[in-house]
């Protein structure tokens, strides 16, 4: 199964993550300019937890409803991410500004991003501006935030699990605590009902928001694109009725056709096994096929056309099949799903594709330090000496570079050669020695490799 449709959807989802990470930085700068008072850690915790009693006491004793948290975000922004509409109303009744963009976006944007329909309604009732841009860098409106959220609520859990990779999100954070907070927030977002996001979208449409806002990127995301990607026929009809513009050469139609091409490939190209995520994607495409076809007709009736380049026949090569097979294994390795991994390895061991994709799986398993997966591959005869990249980089070189002594021992005991050189003339020992000045783990790997007879390479320039 090709990555492109999933990659497109993933790109749309990551925008939400970027919005989460940028808001605190913008908030700090803008809050400093406004010189708002900073609430105490206790009050910030009360707001984040949706603690009505604590918030009421804070406000009743003269607390500033327009105060900011430790990162400079207004308390109303923080409250709008939570599930407590009551806390939001308390702040609004105490004078909190519903249009304060002190964190780079307004409280309504946060409510739309997290699917908080009751909070969105409370903010709108308090005269919050409905037609706002929420992500200044990307250019999404509150309407787009809500419809994009609905797109993910429609997808099966296994497919959302592929798009949402906790490890990647944690790695993107500045520290462990921040990474854990981002993961929790996004899990909350994924758990929100599609209907809640759509209800927010309908609230905004009822207030006459601009349906033709287009994001500042090459893809040109819009509310209509998000609705089409979600295969939401009724929302597409609503947006068209509200004046959504369909470009003559529509990127939405190109994307829908690409989805259909990939669906046919996945449906009719035989692989020995699919990962749970690939199966979920195929099932989702099957479930939404009729709706995608109806949306395509609606868009063409509104004047849209596929670009000329997108109308060319697409052929599925042997390399494409191998890519699909690698994708299946890469996904389960990244997720650490040992049971699914073992099932796939057994299937590919018995298939001609195994000769090309299983060595790559060994490389990826070493990169992610999946000890049990590496053992499973080696036990089934995967050669630890097969270069895992075009430059001749072996699994042992990767393990040495990562200072993973357990993996180094495992690979050597399975027959990994100590002294092959990559195209730059570097060996596993060279890789480990690069970091010995700052890492005792690398020094331990170097000592072990030398004990086993490892040598330096020519280090070609």
- pLDDT of res. 362: 96
Q: What mean pLDDT is reported for the chain?
A: 84
Q: How confident is the model at residue 31 (pLDDT cuts 50, 70, 90)?
A: very low
Structure tokens at 200: 């927010």
Instruction: Read off the pLDDT of each residue in 71-85 and give the average, rounded to a whole number.
Output: 91
Separation CA 188–CA 202 (nearest Å): 22
Report how far residue 396's alpha carbon sits from residue 394's, in angstroms, rounded to the nearest whole number. 5
Last residue of a domain, one of 189, 222, 241: 241
306 contact partners, CB below 8 Å, separation of at least 6:
249, 250, 253, 254, 257
Residue range 215-237: mean pLDDT, rounded: 89
- pLDDT classification of 313: cutoffs 50, 70, 90: low
> Is 35 part of any domain?
yes
Q: How many angstroms separate the CA atoms of 335 and 436, rounded?
A: 30
pLDDT tier for residue 446 given thresholds of 50, 70 and 90: very high
Q: Does 32 have pLDDT greater than 60? A: no
Mean pLDDT computed over 102-109: 85
pLDDT reported for residue 28: 35
User: 263 pLDDT exceeds 90?
Assistant: no
Domain residues for the domain of 231 are 12-241
Counted domains in the chain: 2
Predicted local distance difference test score (pLDDT) of residue 180: 79
Nearest Cα residue to 13 out of 194, 149, 177, 155: 149
* Per-residue confidence band for 147, with pLDDT thresholds at 50, 70 and 90: very high
Residue 322: band (very low, low, confident or very high) from pLDDT cuts 50, 70, 90: confident
Domain-embedded: residue 44: yes
- Examine residue 376 and state whether it is found in any structural domain, yes or no: no
**4-34 and 176-191 are packed helices; what angle lies between their axes, rounded to 10 degrees?**
120
Structure tokens given for 397: 């070189």
pLDDT tens-digit readout, 332-379: 998 888 999 999 999 999 999 999 899 999 999 999 999 999 999 999
What share of the chain has pLDDT > 90, as a percent? 53
> In terms of pLDDT, which residue wins out, 14 or 240?
240
**In this structure, are residues 140 and 134 in contact, taking their beta carbons and an 8 Å threshold?**
yes
- Least confident segment among 67-71, 162-166, 280-284, 390-394: 162-166
Answer whether residue 178 is part of any domain: yes
Describe the crossing of helices 251-268 and 276-301 by its angle, rounded to 10 degrees: 140
User: Is the pLDDT score of 17 beyond 60?
Assistant: no
Q: How high is the pLDDT of residue 131?
A: 95
Q: How confident is the model at residue 120, as a pLDDT?
A: 97
CATH number at residue 387: 1.25.40.20
Give the pLDDT band (50/70/90) at residue 277. Answer: confident
- 75 neighbors 63 (Cβ within 8 angstroms): no
Residue 165 confidence (pLDDT) above 80:
no
CB under 8 Å, gap of 24 or more: what pairs does 4-9 form? 4/258, 4/262, 5/258, 5/259, 5/262, 5/281, 6/159, 6/162, 6/163, 6/281, 8/219, 8/229, 8/255, 8/258, 9/151, 9/163, 9/229
Q: Residues 398-441: pLDDT tens digits?
A: 999 999 999 999 999 999 999 999 888 999 999 999 877 778 89
Which segment, 29-38, 60-69, 380-389, is predicted with the most confidence on average? 60-69
pLDDT above 90: residue 15 = no
Please give the C-alpha separations between residue 214 and each of 76, 136, 139, 248, in angstroms, as whole numbers: 27, 12, 7, 15
- Residue 221 included in any domain: yes
Mean pLDDT of 67-88: 92
Q: Which of 33-42, 58-67, 279-288 has the lowest mean pLDDT?
A: 33-42
| Residue 290 counted as domain residue | no
pLDDT for res 10: 45
- Lowest mean pLDDT: which of 91-105, 110-124, 360-374? 91-105
The answer to whether residue 150 sits within a structural domain is yes
> How many whole angstroms separate alpha carbon 197 and alpha carbon 161?
19
Residue 211: CB atoms within 10 A of its CB come to: 22
Cα distance between residue 383 and residue 263, in whole Å: 34
Exposure b/e, 109-130, CB count within 10 A at least 16 = b: bbbbbbbbbbbbbbbbebebeb
Residue 375 structure tokens:
């053992």
Whether 247 shows a pLDDT value over 90: the answer reads no
Q: In whole angstroms, how far apart are CA 21 and each of 80, 140, 178, 365? A: 16, 15, 9, 29
Of 199, 217, 241, the residue that ends a domain is 241
Given 197, 220, 241, the domain boundary residue is: 241
Question: Where does the pLDDT of residue 19 fall: very low under 50, low under 70, confident under 90, or very high at 90 and above?
Answer: very low
Q: Please report whether residue 275 resides in a domain.
A: no
Name residue 141's beta-bridge partners.
133
């Amino acid at each position: 199964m090709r990555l492109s449709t999933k990659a497109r959807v993933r790109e749309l989802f990551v925008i939400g993550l970027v919005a989460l990470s940028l808001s605190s930085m913008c908030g700090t700068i803008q809050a400093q300019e406004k010189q708002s008072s900073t609430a105490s850690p206790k009050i910030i915790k009360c707001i984040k937890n949706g603690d009505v009693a604590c918030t009421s006491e804070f406000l009743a004793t003269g607390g500033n409803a327009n105060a900011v948290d430790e990162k400079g975000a207004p308390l109303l922004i923080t409250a709008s991410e939570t599930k407590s509409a009551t806390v939001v109303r308390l702040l609004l009744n105490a004078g909190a500004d519903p249009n304060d963009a002190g964190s780079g976006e307004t409280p309504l944007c946060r409510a739309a991003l997290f699917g908080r329909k009751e909070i969105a309604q409370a903010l709108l009732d308090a005269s919050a501006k409905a037609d706002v841009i929420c992500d200044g860098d990307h250019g999404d409106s509150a309407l787009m935030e809500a419809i994009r959220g609905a797109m993910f609520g429609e997808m099966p859990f296994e497919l959302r699990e592929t798009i949402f990779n906790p490890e990647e999100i944690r790695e993107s954070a500045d520290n462990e605590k921040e990474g854990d907070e981002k993961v929790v927030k996004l899990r909350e977002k994924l758990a929100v009902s599609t209907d809640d996001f759509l209800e927010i979208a309908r609230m905004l449409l009822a207030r006459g928001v601009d349906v033709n806002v287009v994001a500042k990127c090459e893809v040109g995301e819009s509310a209509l694109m998000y609705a089409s990607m979600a295969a939401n026929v009724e929302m597409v009809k609503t947006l068209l009725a509200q004046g959504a513009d369909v470009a003559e050469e529509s990127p939405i139609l190109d994307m829908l056709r690409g989805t259909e091409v990939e669906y046919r490939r996945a449906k009719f190209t035989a692989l020995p096994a699919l990962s749970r995520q690939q199966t979920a994607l195929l099932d989702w495409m099957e479930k939404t096929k009729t709706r995608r076809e109806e949306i395509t007709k609606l868009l063409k009736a509104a004047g849209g056309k596929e670009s000329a380049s997108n109308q060319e026949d697409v052929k599925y090569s042997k390399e494409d099949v191998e890519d699909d097979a690698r994708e299946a294994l890469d996904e389960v390795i990244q997720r650490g799903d040992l049971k699914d991994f073992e099932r796939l390895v057994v299937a590919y061991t018995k298939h001609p594709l195994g000769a090309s994709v299983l060595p790559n799986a060994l490389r990826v398993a070493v990169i992610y330090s999946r000890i049990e997966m590496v053992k499973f591959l080696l036990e089934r005869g995967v050669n630890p000496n097969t270069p895992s990249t075009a430059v001749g980089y072996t699994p042992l070189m990767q393990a040495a570079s990562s200072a993973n002594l357990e993996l180094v021992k495992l690979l050597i005991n399975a027959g990994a050669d100590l002294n092959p050189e990559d195209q730059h003339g570097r060996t596993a020992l060279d890789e480990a020695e690069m970091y010995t000045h700052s890492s005792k783990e690398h020094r331990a790997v170097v000592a072990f490799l030398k004990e086993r007879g490892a040598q330096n390479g020519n280090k070609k320039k």
